[in-house]
Structure 1
Amino acid sequence: MTAKILAINSGSSSLKFKLYLMPAEDVIASGQVERIGQTQSQFTMKTPQQKIEQTLQVKDHVTAVQLVIDQLLAQRVIEAMTEINGVGHRISNGGDYYQKAVVIDDLVEQRIDEMATLSPLHNPVNLLGIKAFKQILPNTMQVAIFDTAFNSTIPKQNALYAIPYEYYEKYGIRKYGFHGPSHQYITEQVQALFPAKSHKIISCHLGSGASISAIQDGQTLDNSMGFTPLAGLIMGTRSGDIDPQIVPFLEEQEGLSSAEIKAVLNGKSGLLGISGYSNDIRDLEEASARGNQRATLALQMFVHRIQTYIGSYVAELNGVDTIVFTAGIGEHDGLIRSQVMANFDYLNVKIDEQQNQANALVISQPDSAVTILVIPTDEEIVIARDVYRQLMK
């Protein structure tokens, strides 16, 4: 059976989409609505035949969804709304409730809302996208694909925190890990392209949000994010790992509430907080080249934290076959990749700098003991595949 499936990624002021023809996995339209809620919203859509760009007012997510559907109809990508057989939504946190994709009903919506306390930047806007599509396409199957699902195999000794066990039992406080669709896609690509080198994988998803996964025989052994997406690596505006005592210290010294501390750690920290200049790695590299010492420091800290996690995961995996770089920074920044891998001579890692700067698939030398890859991630196809599986049941 062929089906047209929309993969959706809802942000606080954006909505990204890809329309697939399944099971062929052909992308027949893709695009995004940006600056939702502003008077000068941006709409872009690509089809195999053309690219459309519009500036208009999009007041909310329902209006954004209607705009996407209207344009799919206007450009004859679909002839009727009923041609869309399923919609898949990327959801940040499913907690302990969901270890795989599920068809969305009222209970699923309730639990996504409940888990918003753990993913305050993501779950609420993910839910906005679900409600908007339910309003526009009420008879179309909607499926939730959770960032945490692929990480549900993390063993308890890696997942629990050394706080009273009752808090795990009462509140589910544990490491959930995130970016599951991305790490899942990378795993499947390595298994397909380099099966002999897919036993022990370290997947580095480096973007504005960033995480690293240790993957053994196709299952997640560990992930750098934790109870929330705030933990782990230094990110664009997120702090990553910090001494937990810093939180009450700042509350007392600065007179900040817990909500204000949360805002600082999620929105004012990371590369932006250290540099005082930008959360964009490209801006920081340019500023560093001009002699901006805080930009240089931010880059050094970013690289160091990545190296620390890779090193610890080499130990957890008892070796590594393949290290993969993906997402915006991982796919396009040869300088960062080169700096990250500089401290792994003890693993007999050898980078081919010409291939690295070209963002080639294989950036390690032929005699490198560890294969180093650059693989563009495709979270949307993971979403589309999960929706298609639900349709086929």
Structure 2
Amino acid sequence: MSNNILVINCGSSSLKFALINPQTQEALLTGLAEKLGHADAYITSKYDGVKEVTQLDEGNHAGAMHAIIATLKARDLFDQVAAVGHRVVHGGENFKASTLIDEHVIAEVEACAKLAPLHNPANLLGIRTAIECFPTLKQVVVFDTAFHQTMPEHAYLYAVPMALYREHGVRRYGFHGTSHRYVSAEAAKVLGLPLDNSAIVVAHLGNGASAAAILNGKSVDTTMGLTPLEGLVMGTRSGDIDPGAHAYIGAQLGLDLDGVTDLLNKQSGLLGLSELSNDCREIEDAAAEGHKGALLALNVFCYRLAKQIAALTVSLGRLDAVVFTGGIGENSSIIRAKVIEQLGFLGLTLDAAANDAAIRGKAGKISDAAGPAALVVNTNEELMIALDTAALTA
């Protein structure tokens, strides 16, 4: 009997999927459905090295799942799916590890939707649609927040009345935990460090971005907080901002609290600073041509990241490595160079040739021999989800 795991990573307008053999760690089929909710929604799949792009008749999450099933059947892979694993962004304090899905778990994920309104509802859509499409299979949820549940109180508590924490769960949770868990372990392997005696800062950089301090394989602090809005500058998210700015912005623009929150989530970050794009590649190209907004966006992004990495070393006590991952972290040699230059006082020194070579899937160490290491590790959240799912459904 096959033990292949179908991994579903459902976003608000996209659905990433992969069929993975957890024993060989090979992805038999991968794909991405994009522009869900729009008339021009489409799905891209890759099987046996061949890529195929298909327009979706149903341009929604259910339509994407039906297209995935059709693709699996066309490749004679449908009957080889043993279980389904889902990424869910927010699990609150109730979930400290991945878990089998039942009605109680679905209700808890739904209850956490108010903490991640851009993510959990989309994750739930993926779960419910997958249950309809695979009613006989066990399904597992892997939480972005679970890895950070090892943070100490002094790292996760806000300086607000404790009743807000006790009664309403107001605290820092952190996100991208699946990526941080995978990347920190891989970095330790690359550097020949025992994971249980390592001090690593991982910077997961993409349209969403966070950094995490990982001591002896456990998260001890991270940049994201109650929601994925706190911390670093992101594609369209502001990251850290004076809470008093909410009322001021609302008064100036005639927005209610929801309107201000929407502005900070969807119109800020690289997009807001550059007044050009939230796509780092477009911003780097424009900056090279002297676009002032693009230059400003890159400088703010890199400064904020360097500052946060330096701050995270406080929780580690020492620094063995800084690791870059995610779409930007794995491909932007410009951003990595700017950040490492600003962290020179920690002993980090750049190997420019290695840094320039670490793009398009190439990874490895990008620092000189002396001092803490800097390296690029390609994240693989789908593999982590598959491994957790296989372990829970074996």
Q: Give me the TM-score of the superposition, normalised by structure 2.
A: 0.96
Given that 1:210 and 1:233 are in contact with CA atoms closer than 8 Å, whether structure 2 keeps it comes out as: yes
Pairing of 1:366-377 with structure 2 (within 5 A): 366=369, 368-377=370-379
Q: Which residue of 1 aligns with 2:382?
A: 380
Q: Tell me the amino acid that sits aligned with residue 135 of structure 2.
A: P
Q: Tell me the amino acid that sits aligned with residue 158 of structure 2.
A: Y
Q: Which residue of 2 aligns with 1:229?
A: 228
Q: Which residue of 2 aligns with 1:218?
A: 217
Name structure 2 gaps, 5 residues minimum. Answer: none
Q: Which residue of 1 aligns with 2:270?
A: 271
Aligned equivalent of 1:177, options 174, 179, 192? 174
Q: Tell me the amino acid that sits aligned with residue 17 of structure 2.
A: F
- Please report how far the alpha carbon of residue 190 of structure 1 lies from its aligned counterpart in structure 2 after TM superposition: 2.0
Q: Which residue of 2 aligns with 1:346?
A: 345
Q: Which residue of 1 aligns with 2:125?
A: 128
Deviation by residue 1:202-254 (Cα, 9 ceiling, x = unmatched): 00001110000000000001010000000000000000000000011222232
What is the distance in 2 between the residues matched to 1:244 and 1:305? 17
Pairing of 1:155-170 with structure 2 (within 5 A): 155-170=152-167
Name the stretch that deviates more: 45-54 or 129-138: 45-54
Q: Which residue of 2 aligns with 1:6?
A: 6
Aligned length: 388
Given that 1:271 and 1:278 are in contact with CA atoms closer than 8 Å, whether structure 2 keeps it comes out as: yes
Q: Which residue of 1 aligns with 2:366?
A: 363
What is the distance in 2 between the residues matched to 1:148 and 1:336? 26
Pairing of 1:217-296 with structure 2 (within 5 A): 217-296=216-295
Q: Tell me the amino acid that sits aligned with residue 133 of structure 1.
A: A
Change (3 A) 1:296 1:19: same
- Please report how far the alpha carbon of residue 197 of structure 1 lies from its aligned counterpart in structure 2 after TM superposition: 7.0
What is the distance in 2 between the residues matched to 1:285 and 1:89? 33
Q: Which residue of 2 aligns with 1:54?
A: 54
Given that 1:213 and 1:220 are in contact with CA atoms closer than 8 Å, whether structure 2 keeps it comes out as: yes
Name structure 1 gaps, 5 residues minimum. Answer: none
Deviation by residue 1:271-292 (Cα, 9 ceiling, x = unmatched): 1111111111111122222222
Q: Which residue of 1 aligns with 2:146?
A: 149
Given that 2:57 and 2:63 are in contact with CA atoms closer than 8 Å, whether structure 1 keeps it comes out as: no
Given that 2:182 and 2:379 are in contact with CA atoms closer than 8 Å, whether structure 1 keeps it comes out as: yes
- Please report how far the alpha carbon of residue 58 of structure 1 lies from its aligned counterpart in structure 2 after TM superposition: 2.4
Q: Specify the SS of the correspondent of 1:69.
A: helix
Q: Tell me the amino acid that sits aligned with residue 90 of structure 2.
A: N
What is the distance in 2 between the residues matched to 1:115 and 1:221? 22
Given that 1:197 and 1:322 are in contact with CA atoms closer than 8 Å, whether structure 2 keeps it comes out as: no
Given that 1:6 and 1:88 are in contact with CA atoms closer than 8 Å, whether structure 2 keeps it comes out as: yes
Asked if 1:97 corresponds to 2:94, the answer is yes
Name the stretch that deviates more: 9-18 or 47-56: 47-56
What is the distance in 1 between the residues matched to 2:98 and 2:120? 15
Q: Tell me the amino acid that sits aligned with residue 312 of structure 1.
A: A
Given that 1:62 and 1:136 are in contact with CA atoms closer than 8 Å, whether structure 2 keeps it comes out as: no
Q: Which residue of 2 aligns with 1:37?
A: 37
Identity of aligned residues (%): 39
Q: Which residue of 1 aligns with 2:103?
A: 106
- Please report how far the alpha carbon of residue 2 of structure 1 lies from its aligned counterpart in structure 2 after TM superposition: 5.0
Given that 2:56 and 2:63 are in contact with CA atoms closer than 8 Å, whether structure 1 keeps it comes out as: no
Given that 1:202 and 1:212 are in contact with CA atoms closer than 8 Å, whether structure 2 keeps it comes out as: yes
What is the distance in 2 between the residues matched to 1:63 and 1:289? 41
Question: What is the RMSD of the two structures over their aligned residues, measured on CA atoms?
Answer: 1.4
- Please report how far the alpha carbon of residue 11 of structure 1 lies from its aligned counterpart in structure 2 after TM superposition: 1.3
Q: Which residue of 1 aligns with 2:206?
A: 207
Q: Tell me the amino acid that sits aligned with residue 328 of structure 2.
A: I
Runs of 4+ in structure 1 displaced over 4 angstroms? none
What is the distance in 2 between the residues matched to 1:289 and 1:39? 35
Given that 1:2 and 1:23 are in contact with CA atoms closer than 8 Å, whether structure 2 keeps it comes out as: no
Q: Tell me the amino acid that sits aligned with residue 210 of structure 1.
A: A
Given that 2:16 and 2:33 are in contact with CA atoms closer than 8 Å, whether structure 1 keeps it comes out as: yes
Q: Which residue of 1 aligns with 2:190?
A: 193
